């Protein structure tokens, strides 16, 4: 024990002697050590992590809009008998984001839909359910139901379905007419059958038409990602209100390239209202073939500064022919609505009821004339450019 104590005392003596020598002969060594320790401590204080932000700041964004709209967005599985087309054929550049269609009997297609009323009425694309023999709907809460097809409108690519389940969530309808380029929007659907997905983007353009996708085109263009399986899903604004039905994409590969198109909710609501009331959509028709009146064409035909839509042909025994409209006339207005393009003329006439009368303004040989036209009912046609027939 004494020996251990002696060793300890000698060791302490040696250490103290070393400290004394360093302090006397090299005091800067101790100063440098203290400076390094102080620097390290100061740096640690400077890089200290900030406290966690408040919960409201963490959740800033569009989570509230997604929570409001997502419960009303459903996944649709359309079963089609063997040999029937599973959705509309894809165009080389403009594709319909319809889901995968496995081989076998029957064929299956995947899309999305939106519940617009608590009694089970929902919207989707016509090409999602076209030719389907069985339509199954799955809600975001896991419930499933077989859907009844109430009606379709291929010319706008809208279909109306009905499911019978209690306590159904319904999306709030917005106003597509109030949208502006640059507004934030969310696309909600079931892309690639991975489950409900929300993507965000902005309104890239409004009033897109003459794309050759539908007969009646007035698309909202967005860069929110729309992929296979999103067809018929919801495009909602920053408040979670429905402003469009996602329907098509511009793509060379079949996937999203940042250019997607949605049918405005105003159009979808008009179609749904007509189907729920009458079972189908009835549109007016006057029976003229039209061309856009360009300045060059107006000069060649010696039409002066006429503004309107050039009548290239008139259907025999059609409403326009019976009223006295002739090829070479320039249509300037339908009722109180001025028309300057074939798209505007098509939309103006189609918005009117068959068998109703409308005053059509015409310029002929530099003179303004008005004809009373009794509209006929437009037959359902395959999608085509609006300038072919109005």
CB 98 within 8 A of CB 190: no
Domain annotation covers residue 192: yes
Same domain flag for 205 and 157: no
In a domain, residue 185? The reply is yes
Which CATH number covers residue 236?
A: 2.40.10.10
Of 278, 297, 316, the one marking the end of a domain is 278
- Say if 246 falls within a structural domain: yes
Euclidean distance between CA atoms 81 and 133, whole angstroms:
6
Q: How far apart are CA 369 and CA 363, in angstroms?
A: 6
Of 278, 305, 340, at which residue does a domain stop? 278
Q: With pLDDT > 70 as the criterion, what percentage of the chain qualifies?
A: 73
Catalytic residue annotation: 127, 157, 231
| Same structural domain, 190 and 268 | yes
- Residues 293 and 352 occupy one common structural domain: yes
- 84 or 114, greater pLDDT: 114
Look at residue 245 and tell me if it is in a domain. Answer: yes
Residues 188 and 250 in one domain: yes
Q: Nearest-CA neighbor of 186 among 132, 135, 114?
A: 114
How far, in Å, are 164, 175, 263, 341 from residue 146 at the CA level? Answer: 8, 30, 25, 43
pLDDT of residue 177 exceeding 50, the answer is yes
| Stretch 14-41: mean pLDDT | 59
Output Rg (C-alpha) for the chain, integer angstroms.
Answer: 34
Are residue 207 and residue 270 in the same domain, yes or no? yes
Choose the weakest-confidence range: 7-11, 321-325, 340-344: 7-11
Encode 156-202 in three state secondary structure: CCEEEEECCCCCCCCCCECCHHHCCCCCEEEEEECHHHCCCEEEEEE
Is there a single domain that holds both residue 146 and residue 120? yes
If you average pLDDT over residues 336-360, what whole number do you get?
Answer: 89
Which neighbouring-strand residues pair with 338? 333
Number of domains into which the chain is organized: 3
Identify the domain containing residue 223 by its residue range. Answer: 176-278
Taking only the tens place, the pLDDT of each residue in 140-171 is 999 999 999 999 999 899 999 999 999 999 99
What CA dihedral angle connects 250, 84, 274 and 212, to 10 degrees? 30
Over 50: is that where the pLDDT of 353 sits?
A: yes
Q: Worst-scoring range by mean pLDDT, 43-57, 258-272, 335-349?
A: 43-57
Residues 140, 184 share a domain: no
State the DSSP code for 333. Answer: E
- What pLDDT, in 10s, does the model give residues 224-267? 988 888 889 999 999 999 999 999 887 665 666 778 999 999 99
Q: Identify whether 229 is part of a domain.
A: yes
Domain shared by 186 and 237, yes or no: yes
194 token code pair: 């991975």
* 221 phi-psi bin (left φ>0, alpha ψ -120 to 50, beta other): beta
Same domain, 192 and 127: no
Q: Is residue 48 part of a domain?
A: no
Which of the 8 DSSP states describes residue 222? E
325, 346: one domain:
yes
* Most trustworthy range by pLDDT among 2-6, 34-38, 51-55: 2-6
Domain boundary among 227, 244, 278: 278
Asked if residue 32 belongs to a domain, the reply is no
The larger pLDDT score, comparing residue 24 to residue 204, is at: 204
| Structural domain contains residue 388 | no
Any idea what DSSP says for residue 48?
A: P
Pairing of strands 376-377, 367-374: unpaired
- Does residue 214 sit in the same domain as residue 271? yes
300/272 same-domain check: no
Domain at 373, CATH number: 2.30.42.10
């Amino acid at each position: 024990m004494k020996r251990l104590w002696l060793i300890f005392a000698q060791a302490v003596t040696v250490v103290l002697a070393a400290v004394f020598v360093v302090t006397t002969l090299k005091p800067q060594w101790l100063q440098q050590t203290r400076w390094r320790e102080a620097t390290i401590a100061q740096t640690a204080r400077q890089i200290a992590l900030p406290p966690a932000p408040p919960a409201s700041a963490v959740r800033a964004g569009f989570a509230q809009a997604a929570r409001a709209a997502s419960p009303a967005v459903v996944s649709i599985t359309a079963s089609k008998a063997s040999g029937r087309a599973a959705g509309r054929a894809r165009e080389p550049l403009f594709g319909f984001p319809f889901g995968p269609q496995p081989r076998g009997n029957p064929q299956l297609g995947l899309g999305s839909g939106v519940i617009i009323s608590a009694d089970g009425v929902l919207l989707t694309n016509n090409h999602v359910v076209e030719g389907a023999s069985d339509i199954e709907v799955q809600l975001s809460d896991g419930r499933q139901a077989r859907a009844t097809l109430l009606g379709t409108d291929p010319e706008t690519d809208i279909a109306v379905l009905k499911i019978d389940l209690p306590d159904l969530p319904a999306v709030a309808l917005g106003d597509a007419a109030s949208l502006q380029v640059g507004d934030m929007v969310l696309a909600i659907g079931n892309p690639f059958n991975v489950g409900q997905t929300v993507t965000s983007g902005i309104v890239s353009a409004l009033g897109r038409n003459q794309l050759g996708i539908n007969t009646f085109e007035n698309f909202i263009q967005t860069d929110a990602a729309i992929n296979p399986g999103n067809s018929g899903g919801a495009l909602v604004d920053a408040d979670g209100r429905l402003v469009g039905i996602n329907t098509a994409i511009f793509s060379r590969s079949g996937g999203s390239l940042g250019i997607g198109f949605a049918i405005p909710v105003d159009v979808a609501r008009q179609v749904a209202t007509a189907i729920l009331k009458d079972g189908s959509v009835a549109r007016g028709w006057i029976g003229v073939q039209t061309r856009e009146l360009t300045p060059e064409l107006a000069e060649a035909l010696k039409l002066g500064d006429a503004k309107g839509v050039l009548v290239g042909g008139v259907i025999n025994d059609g409403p326009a022919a019976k009223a006295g409209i002739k090829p070479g006339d320039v249509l300037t207005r339908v009722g109180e609505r001025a028309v300057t393009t074939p798209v505007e003329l098509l939309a103006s006439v189609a918005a009117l009821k068959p068998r109703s009368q409308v005053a059509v303004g015409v310029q002929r040989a530099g003179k303004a004339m008005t004809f009373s036209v009794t509209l006929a009912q437009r037959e359902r046609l395959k999608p085509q450019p609006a300038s072919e027939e109005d």
